[in-house]
Homo-oligomer: A and B are copies of this chain.
């Protein structure tokens, strides 16, 4: 790392959804390859290997202590483990320290709830996974149904795959449109969802509701204060 480099820090914690992390990491690592002004790191409490919500295990490149002043932070989301991470004081303390100097505070999916638990969404317009959007007022944010939402230095993305769109937006902000287009070609991001665009008028809410209920029940078990706060507005 050189003195001039700006560090983009991707936060990891046990049980996260790896696509939330890896989509934007792949995009911003490509930016760092093109423009060495930037470097990407993956930060966690320790360098040990962690589980995810898939069979893949992952390990960070740096500890929180090694990256006290990142230029930008990205918090990925997940289900039960992410609600538990909302009470991880070590993680929240690092986010607050990082936020003291960071130019960009970003999240994917329910990662925004972790930013919120650290007190960083107070009064902000924000988004998260569509099934959990109604929890945002519980952390002081105004929910917005968009692919990503920028409110000052806080930029939050919708669920899981939205992190790729967020990251390409960040590349354009940081390095201009041509670099963003080059990165988009490098990851051949020309989506053709086989089932077409999501039909929001026909959300399979009934099929997915048990997942939401399980996530809230298990993720907030043992933390009634947080549960009451999050569910107060739903």
Contacts and interface: CB of A to CB of B under 8 A. Distances in A.
Q: Is the interface of A mostly helix, strand, loop or mixed?
A: mixed
A160 B180 contact: no
B172 A195 contact: yes
Contacts of A116: none
Contacts of A187: 19, 159-161
A186 B197 CA distance: 13
Interface string A42-57: 1000000100011111
Q: How many copies does the complex hold?
A: 2
Interface residues of A, number: 62
Contact of A56 (B17, B25, B182): B25
A165 B184 contact: no
Contacts of A211: 186
A144 interface: no
11 contacts: A18-B25, A21-B56, A22-B54, A42-B54, A57-B58, A161-B164, A161-B189, A161-B190, A169-B194, A172-B194, A182-B207
Interface of A: 10, 17-19, 21-23, 25-26, 29, 40-42, 49, 53-62, 109, 129-130, 147, 158-162, 164-165, 168-169, 172, 177-178, 180-182, 184-195, 197-198, 203-204, 207-208, 211
